[in-house]
Amino acid sequence: MKRYTSMKVGGPVKYLVYPADEADLQKAMRILREEGIKYRFVGNGTNIIVHDEGFNGAIIRITKIRRLQHNRTQEGAVVKVSGGASLKGFIKDNAMRGLAGLEKLYWIPGTVGGGIKMNAGSFGASISDVLESVTVLNDKGNITTLDRKALSFSYRSSPVKTTECVINAVFRLKTGDRKKIQEDMGYVFVERKKRHPMEFPSSGSIFKSVGKEPAWQYVEKAGLRGLKIGDACVSEKHTNFIVNLGRATAQDIKTLIDRIKKEVFEKLGIALEEEVEMWGFNEN
């Protein structure tokens, strides 16, 4: 799985499944359920740490299911996109069409579906702000479309479960000045590059904010900047990132996460909660 995760760690899985379309996806899930094989959905693997011994089951990637449909409105457009589409690529495509609403999320890695699952956001904006509806495949193989009113989002959280798959989503975007949108995206990219350790493999933010306070402040106050276990290291640039300096293992990262949580709690009385998903650590 180190080939399919942004942290570049993780052992083997028994099956890697690429459905060609929605019917193919439902068929694959039915077979896996009938055979009693556990499965997980993966997009670009930007928010997961997979155990060094891998995952005892199947990984389903929907990145080959492609859908992009624009319906122009008086204010802009209603856009339907596949859950497995690159979020960064989707935002870039909208910008080229002069459609605004998601540009503050530019350069967030991962897929549209992954972004919805964790209600991805940056610079005061969240993906749910312009979301109209989501079509989800649940763990029983049923497809349901939920509109925005039926969905309750919160900070880095959505009602879409880890066992569910976002097949497609609909966004309502507004017409904007193409040059201004691209300037905003450029600003977001420069700020991200300045603040985040983009030069090393990582899984983005490791811990959720505590109330309205960002987690990095507590890691910083606990004196953990640059703390290393093996080749897993608390980033010098942003202390809510753990980076892989080259040969880190998933266990190195897990041990470092546990050490951070322990020291922050002992020194500051703050209980940090992971934003990143840990796969296989309870199964092995």
Q: Which long-range contacts (CB under 8 A, 24 or more apart) does 87-96 make?
A: 87/111, 87/112, 87/114, 87/115, 87/120, 87/127, 91/185, 92/185, 93/68, 94/173, 95/178, 95/181, 95/182, 95/185, 96/178
Q: Is residue 205 annotated as a catalytic residue, yes or no?
A: yes
Residues in contact with 144: Cβ distance below 8 Å, sequence separation at least 6, in sequence order:
135, 136, 138
Considering the candidates 22, 103, 164, 275, report the single residue annotated as catalytic. 275
Of 135, 107, 133, nearest to 122 (Cα)?
107
Considering the candidates 156, 178, 192, 225, report the single residue annotated as catalytic. 156
Q: Is residue 275 annotated as a catalytic residue, yes or no?
A: yes
Cα gap 240→184, rounded to integer Å: 24
Considering the candidates 128, 205, 209, 235, report the single residue annotated as catalytic. 205
Cα gap 151→143, rounded to integer Å: 15
Q: Is residue 283 annotated as a catalytic residue, yes or no?
A: no
| Integer CA distances (angstroms), 17 to 80, 118, 254, in order | 24, 23, 27
Residues annotated catalytic, as ranges: 156, 205, 275
